[in-house]
Amino acid sequence: MGFLILAAIILLPVLILIVIYNGLISKKNNVEYAFSSIDVMLKKRRDLIPNLIESVKNYMQHERGLLTQITELRNSVMKAPEGSKEQFDLENKLGSALGQVKIAVENYPDLKANQNFLQLQSALNEVEEQISASRRAFNASVFDFNNGVEMFPSNLVANMLGYKRKASFEIPETERENVNVGEMFKK
């Protein structure tokens, strides 16, 4: 009997430790997984750009500068190291430049009647929504991870593993207003 109690006293903390340890690891992996899904969506957006430029360039005579800027931004994003701050800064710039194209389209009724362009536009809207979804998923997983790192008792294990708080994504103002841009198209 005494032996059993002794075994329980030793085993229970070990069991708790295992649960906490595994919980932290899965939280960390979730963050990484969510991060990579953002990248997938961003790449999807980059793939759409050449087609988009191709279909609008004949119409948008006044926005030549903007279109060239988008092409350049796309090229530099592809050269930037993956997952770096530089890459995400460039992606943000690219996102707002694309937003400007969306607004400029309003001045070209011919373009708005072009089936090919309309399809691209919907694909772009979709990808923007997916980017925002994966960023939110990333932020949620970071929130969960940070709770694990700071809350008792898992913070003790996190300290041993050398886990630090992770920063969540700043969602650019233009993307938060994505919905309003959508509303505009309805009119």
Q: Cα separations (Å) of 186 from 31, 87, 172, 180, 183? A: 36, 33, 23, 10, 5
Q: How far apart are CA 75 and CA 96, in angstroms?
A: 16
Q: List Cβ neighbours of 44 (8 Å cut-off, separation of 6 or more).
A: 127, 130
Q: End-to-end CA distance of the chain: give it in Å, rounded.
A: 79
The footprint of other proteins on residues 47-86 (CB under 8 A) is none
Q: Binding residue for other proteins (CB under 8 A) from 22, 29, 68, 122? A: 122
Interaction between residue 103 and other proteins (CB under 8 A): no
Q: How far apart are CA 134 and CA 32, in angstroms?
A: 12
* Contact yes or no for 154/20 (Cβ under 8 A): yes
Interaction between residue 132 and other proteins (CB under 8 A): yes
Residue 20 φ then ψ, to 5°: -65, -45
Interaction between residue 186 and other proteins (CB under 8 A): yes
Interaction between residue 169 and other proteins (CB under 8 A): no
Q: Binding residue for other proteins (CB under 8 A) from 125, 155, 169, 174? A: 125
Q: Which stretch binds other proteins (CB under 8 A): 2-10, 63-71, 124-132, 152-160?
A: 124-132
DSSP 81: P
CB of 34 to other proteins, least distance (A): 7
Interaction between residue 39 and other proteins (CB under 8 A): no
Interaction between residue 133 and other proteins (CB under 8 A): yes
CB of 65 to other proteins, least distance (A): 26
Q: How far apart are CA 171 and CA 19, in angstroms?
A: 33
Query: In Å, how far from its chain's centre is CA 126?
Result: 14
Interaction between residue 187 and other proteins (CB under 8 A): no
Q: Which stretch binds other proteins (CB under 8 A): 7-15, 64-72, 131-139, 155-163?
A: 131-139
Q: What does the binding site for other proteins look like in residue numbers (CB under 8 A)?
A: 34, 37, 119, 121-123, 125-126, 129-130, 132-134, 136-137, 139-141, 143-144, 176, 179, 182-183, 185-186
